Amino acid sequence: MQKNMQFSREDRGQMDSAGATATTAPRGSKNEALIRFSDFGKNFGKGAKTVVATRAINLDVLSGQFVTIVGPSGCGKSTLLNAVAGILPPTQGQVIYRGAPVHDVNRRVGYMTQSDHLLPWRKVAANIALPLEIQRKPKAVIAERVNELIKLVGLDGFSDSYLSQLSGGMRKRCALARVLAYDPETLLMDEPFSALDAQLRITMQTEVRDLCLRLGKTVLFVTHDIDEAIALGDICVVLSERPGTVREIITVNLPRDRDLRRLRSDPHYVETTEHVWALLAPPSVAQKGRVA
Amino acid sequence: MSVWLIRLVIVGGFFAFWQFGAGTVFNEFFFSRPSAICGQLWDLMASGRLFYHSAITLIEALAGFACGSAAGLLAGIVLGRNEVLGKALDPIITIFYSLPKIALGPLFVIWFGIGIEMKIVLTATIVFFLVFLNTYTGVRGVSRELVAIMKLMGATERNILSKVVLPSVVTWVFTGLRLSVPYALIGAIVGELIASNQGLGYLLSNAAGQFNTAGVFATIVAIVVMTMLLNATVKFVERRMMPWQDEQATREVSI
Ligand SMILES: Nc1ncnc2c1ncn2[C@@H]1O[C@H](COP(=O)(O)OP(=O)(O)O)[C@@H](O)[C@H]1O
Ligand SMILES: [Mg+2]
């Protein structure tokens, strides 16, 4: 708990979040945020064992925005997503979704986590059909929609396979198709690609970004990988160590249809990642520059 | 190939030693000999006694198995999905689980007499705990993250139960069922040993009472055969119910 002290209070690093997001609004959503964290804080446990996971979070997410959240592990990134989903109630403040505080399970969002949580006893097509079955859609409608989705995520020819026959990347595609099946307006992604190898990861990152832009999804994408955070985000929220507070909200000035494979040589990308590395590195390391 | 050869030599050697050592190396009275056992087995089959008593034991084991596993399944799902109830009953279950269920046999004789009912109840009690515990563990093991993800999809408790909990518990249930098969037979046979006038357990104690060693061994052979048949049945059903496990098993090993 002591080492939390070494990081600044929220008043130092935090920029005016409304200002930061306004400039990157992808479509004119009449400056009304789709998701608003308003002085949000979450503690776990009671009494002496209380863990302050995150506190004093103020953040606006506009409709259609791809927002990445980066920070050291344990700083409350997953907690933020859980709060948007309505799975964890806030200790302080609130999360406002479409103008109303989130109280119960928020059905307008879809969740993807690091482990894909597919059902091993179902084949690929049946896995993707799960949310549609829950909505009691007619069989024919389900079949048609599942077919579309399988094409959309590039799983053609695997609809009749069991998951044990798929590679890691294909399982991710399957999980992505499943979450897209019920067409939630917001996607919450919690380090979905951290278990993939570098090549596959960049492929999946490209596809997810392109798909989400094309489908007009609002995305909250959590990662502990700074490069990923900058590469994917329209804006990137940098959190401090626990208790997590917003250190900085970075507007990523890269084109919306950026090519992720070419980013490494983009000066703005390099500069921005360096900046975040410096922000997140422990002070002693920060002085020596970037140490991987 | 060599595995089979080694097996053949060991098994063949063992039976040869038994057959020809009886009466010279050790006392035939206590150990009998394979030829005598085969003779007994033949007599038992020819007279139809073996099938009669086997049928009795099988009925007891199957009825106990069915009642015990149905109750265990139900209790496992209810307590597994209901956190408060599960917590409340946990110590009571632990106490009952620690109790060797066979010790309840004499009590069941008082309650249900020495007929077939007492064996069914004894068997059901044993099977109940095995299936219950496995089901309970399985239900508890269902990922909370997955349940949350499904709730975001709009799933009701019933959806969660039918689409996630039950299918994912199948593996556990079958583990419980497979474990239970030999125990179901043990329950039935021990029940018969305690007090009975029919069944394989009765055949066993009857032969032993007459110092008919060959008869004892012949009955044991029958019990082993019956256990193997039951095990094979469960395995067969298991494979039919969980085809995805087959895919996993036949998949080339990779990590
Ligand atoms: N359900 C929970 N119960 C108790 N503590 C929790 C729970 N979820 C998270 N925490 C604690 O809150 C802190 C932030 O967790 P989390 O949001 O998962 O961090 P991150 O996703 O950034 O790694 C961690 O210290 C973690 O131990
Ligand atoms: Mg996390």
Residue A283: pLDDT over 70: no
Select from B148, B244, B247 the Cβ nearest to the Cβ of A87: B148
Ordered by start, the domain boundaries in chain B are: 56-239
Instruction: Note which residues in 153-182 of chain B have CB less than 8 A from chain A.
Output: 153-155, 159, 163-164, 167-168, 170
Please tell me the predicted confidence (pLDDT) of residue B249: 60
What is the pLDDT, as a whole number, of residue A206? 92
Considering the segment(s) B56-239 as one domain, its CATH architecture is: Orthogonal Bundle (1.10)
Query: Residue B250 has what pLDDT?
Result: 57
How many A from CA of A113 to the centre of ligand 2?
9
pLDDT for B67 equals: 95
Compute how many other C-beta atoms are within 10 angstroms of the C-beta atom of residue B42: 12
- Identify the band that residue A197 occupies on the pLDDT scale cut at 50, 70 and 90: confident
User: From residue A291, how far is each of A6, A65, A237, B48, B98 by CA, in Å?
Assistant: 19, 31, 21, 84, 56
Indicate if ipTM > 0.90: no
Q: Are B247 and A87 within 8 A, CB to CB?
A: no
Least confidently predicted of A69-78, A256-265, B147-156, B241-250: B241-250
Confidence check: pLDDT of B146 > 60:
yes
The percentage of chain B sitting over the pLDDT mark of 70, rounded to a whole number, equals: 95
A82 or A1: which carries more pLDDT confidence? A82
| Helix pair B83-98, B49-81: axis angle to 10 deg | 140
Which residue's alpha carbon is nearest to atom 3 within ligand 1? A44
A109: closest chain B residue by CA: B152
Distance (Å, rounded) from C-alpha B56 to C-alpha B60? 6
Domain residue extents for chain A = 1-107+185-192+217-292, 109-183
pLDDT-based confidence at A25, cuts 50/70/90? Answer: very low
B153 in Cβ contact with B179 (< 8 Å): no
Residue B118 has pLDDT above 50, yes or no: yes
A111 C-alpha to ligand 2 centroid (Å)? 13
Contact A105 B152 (CB under 8 A): yes
Chain B touched by A192 (CB under 8 Å):
no
Q: What's the CA gap between A68 and A65, in Å, rounded?
A: 10
pLDDT in tens, B100-115: 888 999 999 999 998 9
Would you give the end-to-end CA distance of chain A in angstroms?
Answer: 25
Contact B146/A165, CB-based, under 8 Å? no
pLDDT at B17 over 60: yes
Report CA(A101)–ligand 2 centroid distance (Å): 23
- The ligand 1 atom nearest the CA atom of A71: 22
pLDDT tens per residue, range A37-48 = 999 999 998 888
How many secondary structure helices (H) and strands (E) does chain A include? 10, 10
For A102-153, give the DSSP string.
--S--TTEEEE-SS----TTSBHHHHHHHHHHHTT--HHHHHHHHHHHHHHT
Q: What would the mean pLDDT of B195-213 be, rounded to a whole number?
A: 92
How many Å lie between the alpha carbon of A151 and the closest alpha carbon of chain B? Answer: 22
CB-based contact A268:A280 (threshold 8 Å): no
Identify all chain B residues contacting A130, using CB atoms and an 8 Å cutoff.
150, 153, 163
- Which residue has 């043990």 as its token pair? B186
pLDDT score of A241: 87
Average confidence score pLDDT of chain B:
89
* CA gap A179, A113 in Å, rounded: 11
Mean pLDDT of B190-215: 92
Q: Per residue in A201-251, pLDDT tens? A: 999 999 999 999 999 999 999 999 999 999 999 999 999 988 889 999 999
pTM for the structure as a whole: 0.75
CB contact under 8 Å between B244 and A121, yes or no, is: yes
Q: What are phi and psi of B252, to 5 degrees?
A: -65, 140
| Average pLDDT value for residue range B218-229 | 92
Q: Which residues of A touch B155 (CB under 8 A)?
A: 134
Name which of A177, A255, A252 is nearest A211 in CA terms: A177
> Is pLDDT of A5 > 70?
no
Segment A127-161, tens digit of pLDDT: 999 999 999 999 999 999 999 999 999 999 999 99
The type of residue at A98 is: R
**Residue B53 confidence (pLDDT) above 50:** yes
CA of A73 to the centre of ligand 1 (A): 9
pLDDT over 50 (residue A12): no
Q: Do residues A100 and B144 make contact, with C-beta atoms less than 8 angstroms apart?
A: no
Mean pLDDT of A6-16: 38
* Per-residue pLDDT at B252: 58
Ligand nearest to the CA of A239: 1
> How remote is the CA of residue A123 from the centroid of ligand 1, in Å?
33
Asked if residue B216 lies in contact with residue B197, where contact means CB atoms within 8 angstroms, the answer is: no
Least confident among A226-235, B28-37, B108-117, B172-181: B172-181
The chain B residue lying nearest A168, using CA atoms, is B255
Q: Testing the interface with B: which of A114, A124, A135, A162 to mutate, by most B Cβ within 10 A?
A: A162
Chain B residues near residue A107 by CB distance under 8 angstroms: 152-154
Whether A113 has its CB under 8 Å from any CB of chain B: the answer is: yes
Enter the tokens of residue A20: 């930061």
Residues lining ligand 1, Cβ inside 6 A: A 44, 51, 53, 71, 73-79, 242
Residue type at B197 in one-letter notation: N
Which region among A50-64, A274-288, B73-87, B127-141 has the lowest average model confidence (pLDDT)? A274-288
Distance A3 CA to ligand 1 centre (A): 17
Decide if pLDDT at A30 tops 80: no
Across the range B174-186, mean pLDDT stands at 85
Residue A261 has pLDDT above 90, yes or no: no
In angstroms, the CA A208 to CA A196 distance is: 14
Res A285: pLDDT: 52
Supply the pLDDT for residue A31.
Answer: 59
Interface-testing mutation among B151, B153, B159, with chain A (most A C-beta atoms within 10 A):
B153
Does the distance separating the beta carbons of A87 and B244 come in below 8 Å?
no
Residue of A nearest to B146 (CA): A117
pLDDT band (50, 70, 90) for residue B211: very high
- Here the tokens at position B114 are 């020495």
pLDDT at B124: 95
Confidence at A288, pLDDT banded by 50, 70, 90: low
Residue B204 or residue A47, greater confidence: B204
CB-nearest to A164 from B150, B153, B248 is: B248
Burial label, A252 (beta-carbon count in 10 A; 0-12, 13-18, 19+)? buried
Q: What band does A73 get if pLDDT is binned at 50, 70 and 90?
A: confident
Average pLDDT over residues A18-36: 56
pLDDT at B214: 92
Confidence of residue B127 (pLDDT cuts 50, 70, 90): very high
The listed CATH number (3.20.20.80, 3.30.420.40, 1.20.1050.10, 3.40.50.300) that belongs to domain A1-107+185-192+217-292? 3.40.50.300
CA distance B62 to chain A (A): 28
Return the SS3 of A202: helix
Using a CB–CB cutoff of 8 Å, tell me whether A107 touches chain B: yes
Mutation target to probe the B interface, by most B beta carbons within 10 A, among A115, A134, A186 is: A134
Average pLDDT taken over every residue of chain A = 85
Residue B169 pLDDT class (50, 70, 90 cuts) = confident
